[in-house]
Chains A and B, each alone.
Chain A
Amino acid sequence: MILEDGRRVDGRRPDELRPTTIEVGILKNADGSALIRQGKNKIIVAVYGPRELHPRHLALPDRAIIRCRYHMVPFSVPERKSPAPTRREIELSKVIREALEPAVILSSFPRTTIDVFIEVLQADGGTRTASITAASVALADAGIPMRDLVTAVAVGKVDGTLVLDLNHVEDQYGDGDMPVAMMPSLGQITLLQADGNFTLEEFKRGLELAMQGIRRLYEIQKRALKEKYSSLALELRKGRS
C-alpha cells in the first residue's frame, strides 16, 4: 500500500496528517460542542454538564464523574450498522472516557456528572482518536476547567513502514494500529492501545511519530477554540458601539 515514490494510497507522506478542521460550539443546546473533520471522518461531540446526576447514588462526594457514549450512526459506514451499541462501541466509550478524565479537574464539581456524547456521522479510520481530539475541545468550550487539552492520533504499520494517522484502508489492510492520546503540554499519555505487530524499536519510533502528529493537531485544537472566542469578542464589541 506504500507506492514506489514513498506516498500512501491517498497521496500522503508517511508522516503526514489528513486535512483536519475543528469547528467549536456548533450545537446550541449543549454546554460545549465540536465538529471534527479528519479526512473523510465527520464526528460531532456534545458536552452537557457539570449537571446533577441521576440516579443519585452514582454521584461521588469528592468529584464529578464523566460519562461517555461513543456511537456510530447506522449510515456512517459502507454496510449499514445496527444502531444498537456493539461491543466495540462499549469498549471505545470506556477508553475514550479514560483518555479524557485525567485532563478534567473533576474535584471542582463534586456530586455532578459531565456527559460526553460522541456521534460518528462518517467513519474513515481513526474515529476514536478524532473523537478524543474533538471531545477535549468540546469540554473546553463548555468552560470546564482542564489541566490541558487531550490530543490523539493513531500510528500504524503499512507494508513495514510506520505511518501517521491511518485512514480506513490502511487500518483494515495494514500490519498494525496504535492509537495514542496525550496531554501535549504535560507530556502525559492518557490512551494507548495497539493491535497488529510491532517490534520494541517500532513501538518507540511509533510513539515519536505519534507525538509529532499530536503537536500539529494540538495547534489546530487551540486555533479552533481561539477562533470561536475571538469572533465572539468581535461581535460583542460591535454590539456595544
Chain B
Amino acid sequence: MSKPEEIIPKLKKDTIMSLLSKGRRIDNRALNEFRQLKVEVNVVERADGSALVSLGNTMVIAGVKAVLGSPYPDSPNEGAQIVNAELIPLASPVFEPGPPGEEDVELSRVVDRTLRSAKAIDLKELAIVPGRRVWHIYIDIYALNHDGNLIDASMLAAIAAAYTAKIPEVEVRGNGIKIKDEKVNLPVKDIPVTVTFAKIGNEIVVDPCYEEELVMDSRITFGIDSKGNICSIQKGLRGTFTIKEVIEAASLARELSEELREIIVKLK
C-alpha cells in the first residue's frame, strides 16, 4: 500500500511486459510453469498435523488442531471445519499488524471453500455423539515469507497438514467421552489443490511471484479436486478476463493440478 510501490511498478511493468511479449518471465520461467515446490510435514509436533510449504521463496506454514465441541445447529451430525489465515508482518514489509483485513479473509475463505466443495475432510466421520459432541478441526495458516501466490501455497500447506494429521481416538462411555492416547488419521477423502494465474497486460502466467503480483491487472484461482473437477473459483483485482481466457485457464489449471497433487499424495 505504500507510495513508492505505486511508482516503481510502472517501470517494472514495462520490463515484465516486454519480456512476456517474448514469452519470457522475470525469473526465467515458462508462462505455465510453477516455481519449485517443497512440502515438509509434521514440522510442529504439538499440532495434530502441520506442513511447511515453500513455493520458490514463498513460505507458508499450516497447523491442524482438533478440539472437542458442539455441532452447529444446521449440521448436528457433522464435525466442523474452521480455516483461518493471517498475513503477518513477519512475512513481508507490505503486511501491517492489526486485525485480519480483506486479503486475509479472502485467503482463508478461498482455502475453506475449496476444502469444503471437494469434501476433502469427511465431516460426517467427525461426529462423536451425533447432535452433541463433534470434532472441530481448526486449520490455521500463517504466511512466513511472501514472494507471491500465497493462495496456492496456503492451499497446499492446508491440505498437506490435514492429509497427514492424526487426531486422538475417542471412546464414548455413557455420558462421557474418553480421549485415548492412540491416534487415528484425520479422515481426508479428497486432495484438492488450487492453481492461480495472474493477468499482466494481455498475458496470463501461472504461480505469479511477488514482482509479477505488483504489476498484475487481475488474478484468478481455480480449485481442482482429485477427479479433475472445478471445486472453487476466485477472481480478484481490478482487471477483467474474457470468456476464452477463463476457459483456457481452467483447463490448464486442471493439467497443472495433477503435478501438485502428486507431491501431496506421496507425503503419506
Which A positions have Cβ atoms within 8 angstroms of B?
A: 60, 87-88, 90-91, 93-95, 98, 101-102, 176, 178, 183, 186-200, 203-204, 207, 211
Q: Please determine whether A194 and B242 come into contact, CB atoms closer than 8 angstroms.
A: no
Give the distance in Å from the alpha carbon of A222 to the alpha carbon of B86 in the complex: 42
Q: Please determine whether A87 and B230 come into contact, CB atoms closer than 8 angstroms.
A: no
Q: Please determine whether B251 and A200 come into contact, CB atoms closer than 8 angstroms.
A: yes
Q: Please determine whether A197 and B236 come into contact, CB atoms closer than 8 angstroms.
A: no
Give the distance in Å from the alpha carbon of A186 to the alpha carbon of B243 in the complex: 11
Give the distance in Å from the alpha carbon of A92 to the alpha carbon of B240 in the complex: 17
Q: Please determine whether B235 and A189 come into contact, CB atoms closer than 8 angstroms.
A: yes
B220 at the interface (CB under 8 A from A): yes
Q: Please determine whether A203 and B230 come into contact, CB atoms closer than 8 angstroms.
A: yes
Shortest Cβ distance from A102 into B: residue: B240
B233 at the interface (CB under 8 A from A): yes
Contacts of A188 in B (CB 8 A): 240-242
- Which of B106, B116, B230 is the one whose CB lies under 8 Å from A198? B230
Q: Please determine whether B246 and A207 come into contact, CB atoms closer than 8 angstroms.
A: yes
Q: Is the interface of B mostly helix, strand, loop or mixed?
A: mixed
Q: Please determine whether B241 and A189 come into contact, CB atoms closer than 8 angstroms.
A: yes
Q: Please determine whether B106 and A192 come into contact, CB atoms closer than 8 angstroms.
A: no
Q: Please determine whether A98 and B238 come into contact, CB atoms closer than 8 angstroms.
A: yes
Count, chain B residues at interface, CB 8 A: 33
Q: Please determine whether B106 and A91 come into contact, CB atoms closer than 8 angstroms.
A: yes
Give the distance in Å from the alpha carbon of A102 to the alpha carbon of B242 in the complex: 13
Shortest Cβ distance from A86 into B: residue: B105
Candidate in A60, A188, A189 with the most chain B CB atoms within 10 angstroms: A189
Min CB gap A97→B, angstroms: 9
Q: Please determine whether B235 and A88 come into contact, CB atoms closer than 8 angstroms.
A: no
Min CB gap B139→A, angstroms: 15
Give the distance in Å from the alpha carbon of A143 to the alpha carbon of B50 in the complex: 53
Which residues 201-245 of B have a CB within 8 angstroms of A? 220, 225, 228-243
Q: Please determine whether B254 and A200 come into contact, CB atoms closer than 8 angstroms.
A: yes
Q: Please determine whether A199 and B233 come into contact, CB atoms closer than 8 angstroms.
A: no
Min CB gap A139→B, angstroms: 15
- Which of A87, A95, A187 is the one whose CB lies under 8 Å from B242? A187
B181 at the interface (CB under 8 A from A): no
Min CB gap B231→A, angstroms: 6
Q: Please determine whether A200 and B106 come into contact, CB atoms closer than 8 angstroms.
A: no
Give the distance in Å from the alpha carbon of A93 to the alpha carbon of B105 in the complex: 11
Q: Please determine whether A189 and B246 come into contact, CB atoms closer than 8 angstroms.
A: yes
Q: What are 8 contact pairs spanning A and B, CB under 8 A?
A: A87-B108, A90-B102, A95-B106, A102-B238, A176-B117, A195-B232, A197-B117, A199-B229
Contacts of A207 in B (CB 8 A): 243, 246-247
Shortest Cβ distance from B236 into A: residue: A98
Q: Please determine whether A183 and B240 come into contact, CB atoms closer than 8 angstroms.
A: yes
- Which of A93, A176, A187 is the one whose CB lies under 8 Å from B102? A93
Shortest Cβ distance from A197 into B: residue: B229
Give the distance in Å from the alpha carbon of A192 to the alpha carbon of B249 in the complex: 13
- Which of B228, B233, B242, B254 is the one whose CB lies under 8 Å from A193? B233
Contacts of A102 in B (CB 8 A): 238-240
- 4 smallest CB-CB distances across A and B, nearest first, come from A188-B240, A194-B233, A192-B235, A101-B238
Shortest Cβ distance from B107 into A: residue: A91
